[in-house]
Structure 1
Amino acid sequence: MDAFRSSLEGCNFSDLGYSGRLYTWERGKFPSNNIQQRLDRIVANSHWMEAFPDFSVRRLTHTISDHCPLLINLAADFSAPNQAQCFRFNADRVLEEECGEIISSFWANNNHHLPIKLNLLGITLQQWIS
């Protein structure tokens, strides 16, 4: 850990923090054995922060993993989507061969920027589900 911390300092990286619950990792389902820690972080240097001054970082809810994903948004007009706009995907679907083929094909044949690409992939998966 000391070497890792030294590397972060050497690159002038700073923890960007996040909004949401205080922990990013949880183990144990019962109060008697539940452990919650902040293990996951997003870091950047001052050049990155100058390039994206209006960024926001939000802690999302974990489902399969015991780690909570962190979502970074670079846009100033970021707001949480309302329930009607929210796309929810059952992670068990990725175990289906057809789902993997759809995602692989879409990803290989789409050259949009990442946020647009993810949005379009969500629309494609919603059409496949229905």
Structure 2
Amino acid sequence: MIDGVRAILIGDATLTGLVSTKIYPVSAPQKINPPLIVLIRKDADPNKCKTESGGVGRLDEIDFTVLIMSLSYGECETISERIRFLLDGFQGISNSKDLDIEYETEFDSYSEQAKLYVKNATYTAWYKT
């Protein structure tokens, strides 16, 4: 599912103009220059549902985190706004994944050790399997 979310983000020229292709699942490589984005799958709640043909399928509810890291708080904010524009309300197929995505919440922090501003946003995706 995260690969479908990554494909949405990588496919946007505005976002890649801000972060290039530095959008990683789970963790970023060491010594990568910010800004960058890390996508982390958190929870999965598998659900059975009726299919259009009357059979039984699955519609998993998956929470995921989007971490944005930058040397500048303003840049974090700009990147976060673009990601929300792309993901919140997304319904469709991405990288062969049937997704329906909603924004949930976010918070800001600062990593004193890395000297980076961090935005941590949570989204929920409904993923047809």
Bin for the TM-score computed over the shorter chain: under 0.3
CA radius of gyration, larger in: 1
